[in-house]
Amino acid sequence: MELTDAIKGRRSVRAFADTPVSEADLAAIVEAATWAPSPLHLQPWSFVIIKSPQAKAEVLQSCQQAKQGVLEAGGPEWVKKYGFDFLEQAPVLVAVFYDAKKGGLGPYFNQPHGALQAASAAVQNLMLAAWERGLGSLWLTFFDPALAAKALGAPEGLGLAGIMPLGRPAVESKAPPRKQAKVFIDRYGEPPAG
Ligand SMILES: Cc1cc2nc3c(=O)[nH]c(=O)nc-3n(C[C@H](O)[C@H](O)[C@H](O)COP(=O)(O)O)c2cc1C
């Protein structure tokens, strides 16, 4: 698959078939994640592969708690209808953690999020590598990361960049259209000539 096709073809998938994900695919997808750039090449990420119904139930609980919080705080109405069935449908979920202390020199010059930035690049790699293998994914963040990390047994101090369900898409999703890129030349606000 051409890279541009993978970039444009990848969709956020929220309904999965129960076809298993092979160990070989899973290993290749996680390995692709580790080829992301990271500050000082510190590679701050770690992964939990979630397969058991019990571990999935822990994730689901964190998500439901977050949803409840949104509704109690008067958040948007559509959230009521947002369900998490995909957590049970997907044969596997991959949680991507990061060690915030491994963010490079950034904290010296007001850039404290280097490790999260690197973990986010790893997530994108993971999703593209999954897509290349015919697997859909979703970058899920609808939980309190500290609570979800604890529920998954992560050591204190690790951040959670996302939990990605992976599996064969059950339906084809249409690409949500993109806004035209806001591009300036030399200085913010200066439009390109022509
Ligand atoms: C950091 C991040 C967090 C996201 N969190 C969620 C989420 O919790 N639940 C969800 O359904 N989609 C989530 N998304 C997916 C976006 O809704 C989705 O990428 C966007 O609508 C564009 O659709 P596409 O990925 O199919 O191009 C998240 C995306 C990003 C980058």
DSSP per residue over the chain, as a string? --HHHHHHH--B---B--PPPPHHHHHHHHHHHTTS--GGG---EEEEEE-SHHHHHHHHHHHHHHHHHHHHTT--GGGGG---HHHHHSSEEEEEEEETT-STTGGGGT-TTHHHHHHHHHHHHHHHHHHHTT-EE--B--S-HHHHHHHTTPPTTEEEEEEEEEE-BSSPPPPPPPPPP---SSSTT-PPP-
Ligand 1 proximity of 141 Cβ (cutoff 6 Å)? yes
Ligand 1 proximity of 177 Cβ (cutoff 6 Å)? no
Q: pLDDT at position 193, please?
A: 80
Q: pLDDT at position 176, please?
A: 97
Mean pLDDT of residues grouped by 10 in the chain (194 residues)? 96 97 98 98 98 98 98 98 98 98 98 98 98 98 98 97 98 96 96 80
- The residues, ordered by sequence, that sit 6+ positions from 194 with a Cβ below 8 Å of its Cβ are none
Q: pLDDT at position 80, please?
A: 98
Q: pLDDT at position 126, please?
A: 98
| Shortest-distance atom of ligand 1 to CA 161 | 1
Ordered domains of the chain (ranges, CATH): 3-167 (3.40.109.10)
10 Å CB burial of residue 166 (0-12, 13-18, 19+) is buried
Q: pLDDT at position 149, please?
A: 98
Probe ligand 1: pick from 87, 141, 178, max atoms within 8 Å of CB? 141
Q: Is the pTM higher than 0.85?
A: yes
Ligand 1 centroid from CA 190, angstroms? 30
